[in-house]
């Protein structure tokens, strides 16, 4: 606890130092000096208490309106603190160079200040054990990215991204405000321990729904993801790491916390969580697979991964209800591990995509291609991240999905012959679909952007990013592999947290050590399979090299069925790759095709394009935002600037109040 | 879990080697059946062995646009198929690697080889190969959940989570009690075999129009030993699917009283008999593929999802028949 508080204090100091430097060019250079030690401190503290499973409470005697300052470090917070500190350390290392590149658009001091503030607020949110304190910190955490996103308000896209983020953050905070207000009035006090007495309360379902809306908007569960594609695609690399790698987890943390406080709830809790997760997972990867922008694809796939975690949580509740403790252990372990894994590979992918953007000034797939030859290191790291997120062995993405798959299978076995087993089967199938589509999306993304030949002139003078960022990417890529080999160790690290979590849900029958044996074995076997796969690759490649020495290979142009002048424009583009998927699943993707009409005998130059509008967002626009905007516009008519009119309003208001008071008495 | 003991290991490894050796034979059988039905003499049964042998002694030509991924894909394909074969039992003979949950890892290994092949196809920068890659990734995205769902239903039926126990030594009592389910799953998996291995109603490996192909068009630019490795991994993949289907289709042992599920040692003749039945079944499936190819024409690409939907429906029916 002390370590983590010290880390937070260190980060706050850094924020003040950066602010005091004002907008001088290089205030970003302080970031690593403060945040890296803070991250190491925090990692040590969080890791130690995760391993031991201790709960620390600190209640400084500071008064807070409507609440108290109460900080608590429990295993659930530790699970979320670890990726937070790891990634903020890495992000701060990457930050100075990114800020230097944006030098002319950026107020450095302000940017660095809010960067630190975001990290500190996230760490404190995880420690807060009081409703009022939680809300205040949550609001700080939600507002800080706005200032990081709107660093340059020169382009319309960035202004729009910042604006939509602000709106979404506020709309998301509303249900939370309502939730904590309800909880505090019902419980009579605002700390989490008194909230716990409300478990089994008649309104517990409403609490879950409010939490799902409020926290779901933060972790980008579709259809509450409006802000995510915009914000993630316009954020610079180090900010995108914080947004996608850690801030999405905060939303997940909220859902886990509410479930642990009021859990396990009625069966419909599990159905809702699984349904929301499945919807978000399938739709996220479908929309992501059809995007033409690399970063937007990555943003949608975040919605997919959060959906998987949500599904696993719902299934774990269901399995626990059916008494399938091994399945519950597998599902919870899968959910937590997937959260960790997602933080690793998603930040790697965002950093690599950002390196591409810095090198080529675009992330549009139709302008890229052949980047692997220009940026072998970035490309290699991106390939590893893409393989991990597409669920390829021997990387870590499949490791957690595998636990979830097996959890579904065991859960259906335990609920043999009941409706729950059907639900587990459906979840299993949906997870399979998500995995299959993820392969599609990431083979397309990596293959089109990095392989083949360049589609435009943008990548002509692309060069690798500076050494520091390259090292960070290599570190992250290596940890994607390392994490899958160290699976049993990670499960051991999580075990106590999982036991603690199940204890809060099912105090009578918490998970015991034996429930984790199957998961540990599976992870160990997976690591072994991964090693065997790599070994087999190495052996066969060795044999191949031996043959190549005997019969030396040549180079030639792409054969292409004998067509001797293939051009880069003849390659498959992002749109053509996704076209058949979009046409089969038109009701879910709603792509708009623009095809040229050829009516003359000699058709002239024409273009065809495919546009994938985000239909959940347009639905929101139609149902909510436009009517609200219309109301607001029409309300403008009331305010005409005439004093006599205002006096009339006052008179009318007085009269109404008078009549109302008379009626009342 | 299966308790390992030396004789069983020897049998497992012998079966693995047998698989590695015999896999290319399947294409020979399919072609021979097609030729016989069409009234032709047909290629020799061992044609693929001759091809691989010849290709290994030629040099490769790499396209100028290509990178490392183009070169890794053939290697990764064979390595992944090898790792998947390590987890598959050969009839009652358990696999070399068997652990609870391997029925989930095995399809992922197949997905890995496909992923690398898609990247290699995109690496050439050719329109044809990009087209093949797009189709392959689309159809596999739809086939993969069905395959893994079929395996899950099998696991549910046998209450075991390791392929060696799910497929191998399927006791005849269980088979007789649930035969409609096993039959439905076998049909679903046969359809998946046709899709995943690019056989005729989905893809025509022998057409002269690259525009209509899926798998063959992806490997247009590979040559020499690389092509040999790709052909070999394709035949291993076909072998793997045949192995799964025959594992379901043959009720093992129990009836005749040898190699019972948990009995530690089977005698050599019993293993030989089991392996022999499996082998026969695998060759029969290859012949069946040949018959289907002779009887049907290639479907239009838009109709391929319907084949997959059919496979999915069979799998769902199987699951429901189990649930009741």
Q: Of A627, A623, A652, which is closest to residue A638 (Cα–Cα)?
A: A652
Residue A421: closest CA among chain B residues belongs to which residue?
B323
Residue B130: closest CA among chain A residues belongs to which residue?
A572
Query: In which band, very low, low, confident or very high, does the pLDDT at A632 lie, cut at 50, 70 and 90?
Result: very high
**Selected residue with higher pLDDT from B92 and A369:** A369
Cα A655 from Cα A663, distance rounded (Å):
12
Q: Of B121, B153, B124, which is closest to residue B244 (Cα–Cα)?
A: B153
Q: Of A60, A122, A137, which is closest to residue A85 (Cα–Cα)?
A: A122
Q: What is the pLDDT of residues A525-581, one digit of tens each?
A: 999 999 999 999 999 999 999 999 999 999 888 877 777 777 888 888 888 899 989
Beta bridge partners of A64: A67
Residues from chain A contacting residue B319 (CB–CB below 8 Å): 425
Query: In which band, very low, low, confident or very high, does the pLDDT at B254 lie, cut at 50, 70 and 90?
Result: very low
How, if at all, do strands B61-63 and A554-556 pair?
Answer: parallel
**Selected residue with higher pLDDT from A392 and A641:** A392
With 60 as the cut, is the pLDDT of residue B126 above it? yes
Q: Quote the pTM value.
A: 0.94
Q: Measured between CB atoms, does B159 come within 8 Å of chain A?
A: yes
**Selected residue with higher pLDDT from A105 and A381:** A381
Q: Where are the domains of chain B?
A: 6-323
Ranges assigned E (strand) in chain B = 61-63
Inter-chain touch A551–B57, beta carbons under 8 Å: yes
Query: In which band, very low, low, confident or very high, does the pLDDT at B256 lie, cut at 50, 70 and 90?
Result: very low
Q: Which of residues 93-152 of B touch A (CB under 8 A)?
A: 97, 99-102, 104-105, 108-109, 111-112, 114-115, 118-119, 121-128, 130-131, 133-135, 137-138, 140-146, 148-149, 152
Inter-chain touch B119–A446, beta carbons under 8 Å: yes
**DSSP character string of A605-655:** ----EEEE--HHHHHHIIIIIHHHHHHHHHHGGG----HHHHHHHHHHHHH
Beta bridge partners of B93: B90
Inter-chain touch A566–B126, beta carbons under 8 Å: yes
Ranges assigned E (strand) in A66-196 = 67-68, 71-73
Q: Where are the domains of chain A?
A: 328-548+572-592
Q: Residues A166, A149: contact at Cβ < 8 Å?
A: no
Query: Smallest CA–CA separation between B284 and chain A, in Å?
Result: 30
Residues 6+ away with beta carbon under 8 Å from A162: A146, A149, A150, A153, A231
Inter-chain touch A572–B130, beta carbons under 8 Å: yes
Out of A370, A422, A428, whose CB is closest to B149? Answer: A428
Q: What is the pLDDT of residues A88-119, one digit of tens each?
A: 999 999 998 888 888 777 777 888 999 999 99
Cα B217 from Cα B203, distance rounded (Å):
10
Q: A with B: how many residue pairs have Cβ under 8 Å apart?
A: 251
Q: Which of residues 224-283 of B touch A (CB under 8 A)?
A: 224-226, 229
In terms of residues, how long is chain A? Answer: 665
Residue A130 sits at φ, ψ, to 5 deg, of -140, 135
CA torsion A508→A509→A510→A516, rounded to 10°?
Answer: 170
Q: Of B272, B197, B248, B274, which is closest to residue B26 (Cα–Cα)?
A: B197
Q: Vertex A338, ends A336 and A341: CA angle to 5°? A: 115
With 50 as the cut, is the pLDDT of residue A309 above it? yes
Out of B126, B144, B225, whose CB is closest to A432? Answer: B144
Q: Mean pLDDT across chain A, nearest whole number?
A: 91
**DSSP character string of A212-253:** HHHHHHHTT-TTS-THHHHHHHHS-HHHHIIIIIIIHHHHHH
Query: In which band, very low, low, confident or very high, does the pLDDT at A153 lie, cut at 50, 70 and 90?
Result: low
Cα A501 from Cα A505, distance rounded (Å):
7
* CA distances for A391 relative to A374, A435, B139, B292, angstroms: 26, 7, 17, 33
Q: Measured between CB atoms, does A410 come within 8 Å of chain B?
A: yes
Cβ-in-10-Å burial (0-12, 13-18, 19+) of A104 comes to exposed
Inter-chain touch B225–A551, beta carbons under 8 Å: yes
Residues from chain B contacting residue A436 (CB–CB below 8 Å): 111, 140-145
Q: Measured between CB atoms, does B313 come within 8 Å of chain A?
A: no
Structure tokens belonging to residue A557: 């142009």
What is the pLDDT, as a whole number, of residue A605?
Answer: 82
Residues from chain A contacting residue B115 (CB–CB below 8 Å): 387, 390, 392, 439, 443
Residue B86: closest CA among chain A residues belongs to which residue?
A529
Q: Which of residues 17-56 of B touch A (CB under 8 A)?
A: 56
With 70 as the cut, is the pLDDT of residue B260 above it? no
What is the pLDDT, as a whole number, of residue B264?
Answer: 43
Query: Smallest CA–CA separation between B3 and chain A, in Å?
Result: 15
Cα B32 from Cα B286, distance rounded (Å):
10
Query: Smallest CA–CA separation between B296 and chain A, in Å?
Result: 24
Q: Of A297, A315, A303, which is closest to residue A353 (Cα–Cα)?
A: A297
A533 φψ region: left (φ > 0), alpha (ψ -120 to 50), beta (else)? alpha
């Amino acid at each position: 606890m002390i370590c983590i508080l010290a880390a937070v204090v260190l980060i706050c100091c850094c924020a003040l130092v950066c602010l005091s430097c004002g907008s001088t060019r290089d205030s970003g250079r302080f970031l690593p000096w403060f945040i890296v030690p803070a991250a190491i401190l925090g990692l040590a503290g969080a890791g130690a208490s995760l391993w031991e499973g201790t709960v620390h409470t600190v209640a400084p005697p500071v008064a807070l309106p409507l609440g108290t300052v109460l900080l608590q470090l429990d295993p659930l917070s530790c699970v979320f603190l670890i990726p937070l500190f790891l990634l903020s350390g890495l992000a701060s290392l990457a930050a100075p160079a990114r800020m230097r590149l944006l030098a002319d658009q950026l107020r450095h001091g302000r940017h660095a200040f809010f960067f630190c503030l975001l990290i500190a607020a996230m760490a404190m949110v995880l420690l807060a054990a009081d409703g009022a304190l939680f809300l205040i910190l949550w609001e700080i955490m939600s507002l800080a990215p706005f200032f990081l996103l709107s660093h340059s308000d020169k382009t319309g896209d960035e202004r729009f991204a910042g604006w939509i983020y602000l709106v979404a953050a506020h709309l998301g905070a509303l249900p939370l405000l309502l939730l904590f207000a309800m909880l505090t009035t019902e419980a009579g006090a605002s700390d989490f321990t008194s909230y716990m007495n409300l478990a089994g309360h008649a309104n517990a379902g409403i609490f879950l729904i409010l939490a799902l809306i409020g926290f779901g908007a933060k972790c980008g569960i579709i259809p509450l993801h409006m802000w995510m594609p915009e914000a993630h695609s316009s954020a610079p690399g180090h900010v995108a790491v914080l947004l996608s790698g850690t801030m999405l987890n905060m939303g997940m943390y909220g859902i886990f916390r509410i479930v642990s406080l009021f859990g396990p709830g009625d069966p419909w809790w599990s159905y809702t969580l699984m349904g929301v997760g499945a919807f978000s997972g399938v739709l996220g990867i479908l929309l992501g697979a059809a995007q033409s922008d690399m970063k937007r694809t990555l943003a949608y796939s975040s919605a997919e991964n959060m959906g998987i975690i949500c599904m696993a949580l719902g299934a774990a509740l269901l399995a626990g209800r059916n008494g399938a403790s091994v399945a519950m252990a597998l599902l919870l372990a899968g959910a937590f591990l997937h959260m960790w894994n997602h933080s690793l590979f998603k930040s790697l992918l965002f950093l690599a995509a950002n390196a591409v953007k810095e090198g080529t000034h675009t992330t549009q797939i139709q302008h890229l291609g052949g980047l692997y030859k220009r940026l072998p290191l970035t490309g290699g790291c991106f390939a590893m991240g893409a393989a991990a997120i597409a669920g390829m062995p021997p990387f870590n993405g499949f490791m957690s999905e595998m636990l979830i798959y097996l959890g579904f299978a065991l859960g259906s076995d335990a609920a043999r012959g009941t409706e729950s087993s059907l639900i587990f089967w459906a979840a299993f199938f949906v997870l399979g679909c998500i995995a299959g589509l993820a392969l599609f999306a990431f083979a397309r993304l990596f293959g089109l952007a990095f392989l083949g030949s360049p589609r435009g002139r943008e990548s002509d003078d692309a060069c690798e990013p500076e050494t520091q960022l390259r090292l960070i990417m290599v570190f992250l890529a290596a940890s994607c592999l390392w994490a899958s080999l160290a699976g049993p160790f990670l499960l051991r690290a999580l075990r106590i947290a999982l036991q603690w979590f199940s204890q809060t849900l099912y105090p009578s029958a918490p998970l015991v050590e034996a429930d984790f044996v199957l998961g540990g074995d599976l992870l160990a076997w997976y690591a072994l399979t991964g090693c065997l796969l790599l070994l087999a690759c190495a052996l066969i490649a060795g044999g191949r090299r031996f043959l190549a020495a005997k019969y030396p290979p040549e180079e030639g142009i792409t054969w292409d069925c004998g067509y001797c002048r293939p051009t880069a424009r003849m390659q498959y583009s992002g749109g053509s790759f996704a076209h058949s998927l979009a046409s089969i699943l038109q009701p879910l993707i709603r792509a708009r095709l623009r095809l040229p009409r050829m009516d003359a005998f000699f058709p002239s130059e024409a273009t065809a394009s495919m546009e994938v509008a985000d239909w959940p967002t347009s639905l929101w626009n139609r149902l909510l935002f436009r009517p609200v905007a219309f109301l607001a516009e029409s309300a403008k008519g009331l305010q005409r600037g005439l004093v006599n009119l205002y006096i009339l309003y006052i008179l009318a208001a007085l009269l109404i109040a008078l009549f109302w008071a008379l009626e009342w008495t | 879990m299966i308790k390992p003991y030396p004789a069983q290991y020897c049998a497992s490894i012998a079966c693995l080697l047998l698989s590695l050796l015999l896999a290319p034979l399947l294409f020979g059988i399919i072609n021979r059946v097609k030729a016989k039905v069409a009234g032709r003499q047909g290629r020799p049964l061992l044609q693929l062995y001759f091809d691989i042998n010849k290709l290994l002694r030629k040099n490769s030509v790499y396209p100028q646009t290509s990178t490392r991924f183009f070169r890794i894909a053939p290697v990764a394909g064979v390595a992944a198929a090898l790792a998947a074969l390590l987890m598959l039992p050969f009839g009652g003979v358990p696999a070399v690697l068997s652990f609870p949950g391997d029925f989930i890892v095995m399809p992922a290994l197949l997905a890995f080889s496909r992923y690398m092949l898609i990247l290699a196809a995109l690496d050439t920068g050719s329109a044809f190969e990009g087209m093949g890659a797009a189709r392959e990734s689309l159809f596999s995205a739809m086939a993969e959940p069905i395959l893994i769902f079929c395996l899950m239903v099998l696991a549910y039926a046998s209450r075991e989570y390791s392929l060696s126990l799910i497929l191998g030594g399927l006791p005849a009592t269980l088979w007789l009690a649930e035969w409609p389910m096993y039959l439905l799953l076998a049909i679903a998996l046969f359809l998946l075999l046709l899709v995943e291995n690019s056989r005729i109603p989905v893809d025509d490996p022998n057409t002269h129009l690259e525009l209509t192909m899926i798998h063959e068009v992806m490997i247009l630019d590979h040559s020499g030993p690389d092509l040999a490795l790709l052909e070999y991994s394709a035949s291993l993949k076909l072998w793997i699917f045949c192995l799964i289907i025959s594992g379901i289709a043959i009720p093992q042992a129990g009836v005749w009283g040898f190699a019972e599920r948990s009995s530690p040692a089977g005698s050599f003749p019993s293993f030989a008999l089991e392996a022999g039945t499996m082998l026969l079944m695998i060759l029969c499936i290859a012949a069946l593929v040949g018959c289907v190819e002779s009887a049907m024409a290639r479907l239009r690409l838009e109709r391929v999802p319907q084949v997959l939907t059919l496979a999915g429906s069979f799998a769902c029916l199987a699951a429901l028949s189990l649930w009741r």
